[in-house]
Structures are given as C-alpha cells and as structure tokens.
C-alpha cells in the first residue's frame, strides 16, 4: 500500500504545519495577552484576523477536502468520530464568532476588552489541537483499514492535481506572497518577528477559486484598522 503511505505522509506534513501555527500563536497569547488586564481594539482586531486565518487553513486542508469524504463513502464506522471532530470544530468556530461580535461592539463603543478574550483564544487553539490529535491517532488508522487500493490511488491523484493547480495559480499571479506573508510584510516592524512562526507556517494549498474566499463565519463585517498589523505587539 505505497499509495496509502504516500498519502498519509503528505497529510502528516500538513498536520504538522497547522500544529506549529496553532501552538506558536497559543504560546504567544499565553505569554503576552493573558498577562494584561485588558486588550486594545487593535489587538482584538489582529487576534480575530489571525484566528480566522488559522481556521481557514484548517478548513482547507487536504484531509477535509479529500480524505474525510473518502472515509464517509467507504464506511459508516467513522460517523461517531467525525461527529466528535465536528464538535471540536464548532467550538473553535464559536470562538471566532464571539470575537467577531466583540470587534463590532468594541469599534462601536470604543472600549478595551477583558482578559476573557485571551482565554477564548486559548480555547480555540486547544479545540483545534485536540482535533488534530484525534485525526492522527484515530482517523488515519480508520482510513488505513477501510479505504481500498483504488480509492487511495484516486486520493493521491487528487493531491497531485491539487498541488499542481495551486502552484500554477500562484505562478500566474506573479508569485504574490501568501496571505500570511502579506500580513507580515505589509508594514515591517522589528517587533513583529515573534509572529513569523505563527502565520508564515500556515499552509496555503487551497483550490484556486477559494484562495481569495473567506469562510462565512457570521454576518458581521468590519474594516480592519491600518495599524492592526502591529496590534498584538502593543
């Protein structure tokens, strides 16, 4: 089952990238924001944007687009596990929604936020990290035992086409920086170096027609302040 091995190795690399991003951001929040008595609007806006980017990176993983659909088609044994993964995802999504609502409220009332915001961010990271662990320890094993050889070959082929499509899309766009890199490069600041491992490690292997698309977290929208790129360092 060389094809299955190749596929799971590729997914493990993707998982590792996401884990580094989540752990780095969580560590930064614990080391800085949790020590503050409040969070400024700039910090809140930047925290929301960072979490939304992390959530999107998790959402557009190959495991979501290709492996989970193949498992659903191959067996019903995964239904309970997939429900558990869905609940963890919902917990993270609710954190993003609460932060988005808090951004709108803070912009309207021009007020700082309490330390509970940092605790919510910590909850988001914990939920997504728990999901990654369950996927690697349980979902991958289930995939090995339930997905047949032809299905593995189809998944691997989808991976290759996917990567080629994304690479071509980037080439046609003139090798523009990935969204995370754009965020870091927009307004250089020596202090922003602490955030490089957090956002630069995010995978950007998304379908071409989704590269510019945000996950519809809620109906609320806001305009990010120009200084928000440095907000977390205040």
Q: Which residue shows structure tokens 């965020």?
A: 183
The span from the CA of 122 to the CA of 173, in Å, is 35
The span from the CA of 90 to the CA of 222, in Å, is 22
Q: Which of 192, 178, 196, 176 shows the shortest CA–CA distance to 228?
A: 192
Using the predicted structure, report yes or no on whether residue 113 has a pLDDT greater than 80.
no
- Do the domain assignments include residue 183? no
The pLDDT of residue 12 is 93
CB 56 within 8 A of CB 215: yes
- Do the domain assignments include residue 180? no
How many structural domains does the chain have? 1
pLDDT digits (tens, 9 = 90+) for 39-72: 777 888 888 899 999 999 999 899 999 999 999 9
Go through the chain and tell me how many residues it has: 234
The pLDDT of residue 197 is 41
Parent domain of 150: 2-164
- Do the domain assignments include residue 26? yes
Instruction: Report which secondary-structure segment, H or E, holds 18.
Output: helix 2-31
CB 126 within 8 A of CB 88: no
pLDDT digits (tens, 9 = 90+) for 81-90: 999 999 999 9
CB 221 within 8 A of CB 102: no
- Do the domain assignments include residue 189? no
pTM of the model: 0.72
pLDDT digits (tens, 9 = 90+) for 137-162: 999 999 999 999 899 999 999 988 88
- Do the domain assignments include residue 116? yes
The pLDDT of residue 29 is 82
Using the predicted structure, report yes or no on whether residue 193 has a pLDDT greater than 70.
no
- Do the domain assignments include residue 148? yes
CATH number of the structural domain spanning residue 99: 1.20.120.520
- Do the domain assignments include residue 150? yes
The pLDDT of residue 225 is 40
- Do the domain assignments include residue 184? no
Give Cα 70 distance to the centre of its chain.
22
């Amino acid at each position: 089952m060389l094809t299955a091995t190749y596929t799971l190795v590729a997914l493990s690399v993707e998982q590792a990238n996401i884990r580094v991003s989540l752990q780095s951001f969580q560590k930064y929040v614990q080391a800085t924001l949790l020590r503050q008595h409040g969070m400024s609007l700039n910090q809140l806006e930047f925290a929301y944007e960072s979490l939304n980017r992390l959530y999107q990176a998790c959402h557009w993983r190959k495991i979501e687009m290709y492996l989970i659909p193949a498992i659903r088609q191959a067996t019903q044994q995964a239904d309970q596990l997939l429900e558990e993964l869905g609940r963890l995802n919902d917990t993270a999504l609710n954190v993003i929604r609460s932060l988005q609502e808090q951004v709108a409220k803070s912009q309207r009332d021009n007020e700082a936020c309490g330390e509970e915001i940092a605790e919510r961010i910590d909850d988001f990271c914990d939920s997504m990290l728990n999901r990654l662990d369950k996927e690697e320890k349980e979902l991958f094993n289930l995939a090995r035992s339930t997905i047949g050889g032809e299905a593995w070959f189809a998944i691997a082929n989808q991976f290759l086409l996917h990567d080629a499509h994304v690479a071509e899309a980037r080439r046609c766009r003139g090798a523009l920086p990935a969204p995370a890199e754009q965020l870091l490069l927009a307004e250089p600041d020596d202090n922003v170096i602490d955030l490089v491992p957090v956002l630069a490690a995010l995978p950007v292997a998304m379908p071409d027609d989704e590269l510019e698309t945000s996950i519809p977290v809620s109906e609320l929208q806001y305009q990010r302040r120009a200084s928000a790129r440095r907000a977390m360092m205040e």
